[in-house]
Structure 1
């Protein structure tokens, strides 16, 4: 029976950072005989193949950030500016992992000035008109992309542990729709991305407001009905509220090229064998036959 066409969009940085920290426990870093660190790449492959086996996509794309300067940092210079430099052992793995992804026959997609989230959002929006789309990530910001034909797979702690969000599950677990997740971030900000939202408005208050008034527009149209303290906080931070919602919104129009036929999941076993041997991943060689049969 022919496999139903489905596209998996992989959040490359989310997988790579998760793999690095999961495979540097106790300070041990896997390296090749020549000293090149490979622990994050090894973990990435394990996560990646597990997701492929679990969700069986027919097409796969991997999306990447292309540097810290984006249209968001142009609008708010402090955006993500507080983030520490990556660990030294991870830095050489940034370019190596893209070679590994290519060895699977999977395109690496990114665009200067945009984040991987925007590339994923753009491709999900573009290709969900013709097939179901899975977004593989650990980033809850991606939940705003959930739609009838777009499922967001959140990687949870432990192997093969996923939360798969469609519109119904998102509403039942989070009380909010995908669109309301954007407004939630506009109200509360995001400490990990370093934008403030409305000062003094926490998640509990924000969710309550969105449940009652549906959107930021609905809240602003009903300011007189709000408790005096909440109203004062919103009125004092109106400009920041709108800016933070803009920062939180994943773009669906990043100027990226991606041809669906180039994304077909059909890895070449010999190319993979050469890559795994080059990186001294002897324990992964046994996976090649499984990969070939699955594709």
Structure 2
């Protein structure tokens, strides 16, 4: 079987699992497990469907890095817990499940990687850069920002879970970028998204510019740099409110590409990313499965990995 790397945007998936998988507790005195069960089932589904030889659960060691906030102070501000400058707002029932997900990954032997001062997106960007041209890479996420990594020439795809979930993700190649967003490459998608902005990340974008206009401007001028040069040089085609808004956004456009671009060189540890050949800690996995009643999801993961 040819090598293939599958990168999981872990928080994107376990948040989706938390909100999408029913809470089966008989009593609120029992610990919640729906995100844990759902996350394990997602791994089983993805491994079965896409047959990777290498797999990483990519982790947010820092979900809102200060270096990004320094550049765009509104970055993810709305996600902060009330009264906190660092803590991310998270549902009460999800918070205690995140350590259990970490324990399950460790016990099974699935690589989990983060990087100090960086987000999971940056871990994904770095691992993609390391393996570009070495093996095909599939990125699983519900975050459109990662569409910037799509690269047909190097067999880098994004399995976007926005509507269909992990069972029926949008398979993002450059054809999908053209059809859905009107841009030809992942780099063009990144530049379009800078212009458009992203309210979910606290990025204002340029006033009056949405998806279609942003894509058209990038296509017309070849790049964000080309568009900005045209503004600076007085291109008569850019006039009125559009010129005013682009000029007003100059300081934002100076820094936003750095904020939006996923890091290709985060300090991600060099470890073996191959699928586990044996369960790493059978006793810990059995204890976790028994204590939290997740025997079936664990069995499905082990079967998918060829360990069951």
TM-score by length of 2: 0.86
Structure 1 pair 30–143 and aligned structure 2 pair: CA distance change class (3 A):
farther
Q: 1:108-187, aligned counterparts within 5 Å?
A: 108-147=112-151, 148-155=154-161, 156-157=163-164, 160-176=167-183, 177-187=185-195
Output the CA distance in 2 between the equivalents of 1:64 and 1:159. Answer: 18
| Structure 2 partner of 1:62 | 57
Structure 1 pair 30–180 and aligned structure 2 pair: CA distance change class (3 A):
farther
Extract structure 1 runs of 4+ deviating beyond 6 A. 31-34
Output the CA distance in 2 between the equivalents of 1:114 and 1:67. Answer: 5
Structure 1 pair 231–37 and aligned structure 2 pair: CA distance change class (3 A):
same
1:270, distance to aligned residue in structure 2 (A): 7.6
The 3-state SS of whatever aligns with 1:82 is helix
| Structure 2 partner of 1:246 | 258
Query: Unaligned stretches of 5+ in structure 1?
Result: none
1:140, distance to aligned residue in structure 2 (A): 1.1
Q: Does 1:264 align with 2:275?
A: yes
Output the CA distance in 2 between the equivalents of 1:17 and 1:101. Answer: 16
Q: Does 1:94 align with 2:101?
A: no
Query: Unaligned stretches of 5+ in structure 2?
Result: 82-88
Q: Deviations over 1:152-176 (max 9, x none)?
A: 1112335611111222333233221
Output the CA distance in 2 between the equivalents of 1:98 and 1:73. Answer: 27
Are 1:198 and 1:237, in contact at CA under 8 Å, matched by a contact in 2? Answer: yes
The 3-state SS of whatever aligns with 1:218 is helix
Structure 1 pair 210–33 and aligned structure 2 pair: CA distance change class (3 A):
closer
TM-score by length of 1: 0.89
After TM superposition, the structure 1 stretch with the greater mean CA deviation from structure 2, 224-233 or 49-58, is: 224-233
Are 1:60 and 1:265, in contact at CA under 8 Å, matched by a contact in 2? Answer: no
Output the CA distance in 2 between the equivalents of 1:45 and 1:184. Answer: 34
Are 2:40 and 2:298, in contact at CA under 8 Å, matched by a contact in 1? Answer: no
Are 2:7 and 2:140, in contact at CA under 8 Å, matched by a contact in 1? Answer: yes
Are 1:14 and 1:138, in contact at CA under 8 Å, matched by a contact in 2? Answer: yes
Q: Does 1:213 align with 2:227?
A: no
Q: 1:3-22, aligned counterparts within 5 Å?
A: 3-22=1-20
Counterpart of 2:44 (choices 46, 49, 55) is 49
The 3-state SS of whatever aligns with 2:129 is helix
1:292, distance to aligned residue in structure 2 (A): 5.0
Are 1:267 and 1:292, in contact at CA under 8 Å, matched by a contact in 2? Answer: no
Structure 1 pair 258–30 and aligned structure 2 pair: CA distance change class (3 A):
farther
| Structure 2 partner of 1:235 | 247
Are 1:40 and 1:93, in contact at CA under 8 Å, matched by a contact in 2? Answer: yes
